[in-house]
Amino acid sequence: MRPLAILLAAVLALAVSGAARRADAYPQYQLARDATCTGCHLSPAGGGLLSENGLVVAEQASWLGTNPEALYGAPLPPWLHLGGDVRGAAGAVSNGTPGGAAYPMQAEVSAAAGARGVTVHVTGGLRRPQGEGGSAAHVLWSREHYLMWQQHPDGSEGLYVRAGRFMPVLGLRLAEHVAYTQRFGASPLYGEAYAAAASYVSRALEVHATGFVHDSIASAVEHGDGGALYAEARLGAHAALGAGAKYASSDEVHRTYAGLTGKLYLPGADLLLQAEAQLIHQRLLPGGTVDQLAAYFLATRPLVRAWLLDVGLGHYAQDVSVMGLYRDCVDVNVHWMTTSHLEWLVTTRLELLDGGGGPNGGYALLQVHYRI
């Protein structure tokens, strides 16, 4: 583990002592830019379509600016919001044997329509089927669709109630799905379910309660039914602590997730620190149990205008009762927000299995993200 510690310390030193100390806005800067995710997004959980304030943030954080509105300001009625995301990546990947990789990652459009606090949200696009023997064919599908009521339609705080298909709210909800607390934890890629949720969001506190049933047709990840609860309290202007739990029951396994989150923004260093740990208890049917641990730490710092540095450190124990059955990773990501719609991302990972005793791997990818 010494090489991991040395590499992390070196990159964190660069993050703290590097370029100009300017707090350019970016969605990961929750405490630096706004107290809540709803300060920039229409969804109470964050992500997806941007609010008016979020569009301003996207323009200010980019190098060239440009009109941040959907379709560069195409005329839309006031009751309709449009957007979408297209992502692709190419680079080098190693799982013991180095090789090249190039693949599409996301192609989705989003819409929200409504008035007087009642809106319909739909996100859909192309998805590669799971469990199809490696088939490259993509299908049209809707990742999210739900009806939402908002207590204060003109604000970003208050009560939200929604029902439909979406991801149960839990944890940090980082943009990168490869974070161990998402990949192996309670919010994996394609983990959306049919759900009903109530959320309360304010500058001092947010609480999300969700009940869900699995999607028997499209779900390739979550096959259980259950519920999730997450609460996060702000500690002054620059810190927050959260706790949450999720339970999912199926015919094969009962899973219980319990986790803690922490966020700290250091204004002098212009540095945001986020951490999450989840304990995962699985009761296998007809018998037996497995306990797992997933943890992830992320440090984020703007460099010069429109450039952003992320450094992450992850740990995952597949079975805490078995010595050596774990993996660790160091992630270093560099973002360049070229325009309010276009982002380039160099994302790298070094992954050590069994503390360096197993086959190690990693990747270095150039990713492009275009927001419609």
SS3 readout for the chain:
CHHHHHHHHHHHHHHHHCCCCCCCCCCCCHHHHCCCHHHCECCCCCCCCECHHHHHHHHHHCCCCCCCCHHHCCCCCCCEEEEEEEEEEEEEEECCCEEEEEEEEEEEEEEEEEECCEEEEEEEEEECCCCCCCCCCCEEEEEEEEEEEECCCCCCCEEEEEEEEECCCCCCCCCCCCCHHHHCCCCCCCCCEEEEEEEEECCCEEEEEEEEECCCCCCCCCCCEEEEEEEEEECCCCEEEEEEEEEEECCCEEEEEEEEEEEEEECCCCEEEEEEEEEEEEEECCCCEEEEEEEEEEEEEECCCCEEEEEEEEEEECCCCCCCCEEEEEEEEEEEECCCCEEEEEEEEEEEEHHHCCCCEEEEEEEEEEEC
Architecture field, domain 2-371? Beta Barrel (2.40)
The average pLDDT across 320-347 equals 94
User: Higher pLDDT residue, 299 or 46?
Assistant: 299
Q: Is the pLDDT of residue 16 over 80?
A: no
Q: What's the predicted TM-score (pTM) here?
A: 0.88
Domain spans, the chain: 2-371
Most confident of 42-46, 172-176, 197-201: 197-201
Q: What pLDDT is recorded for position 4? A: 41
Residues 60-102: pLDDT tens digits? Answer: 889 998 999 998 888 999 999 999 999 999 999 998 788 998 9
Q: What pLDDT is recorded for position 134? A: 44
User: Higher pLDDT residue, 343 or 47?
Assistant: 343
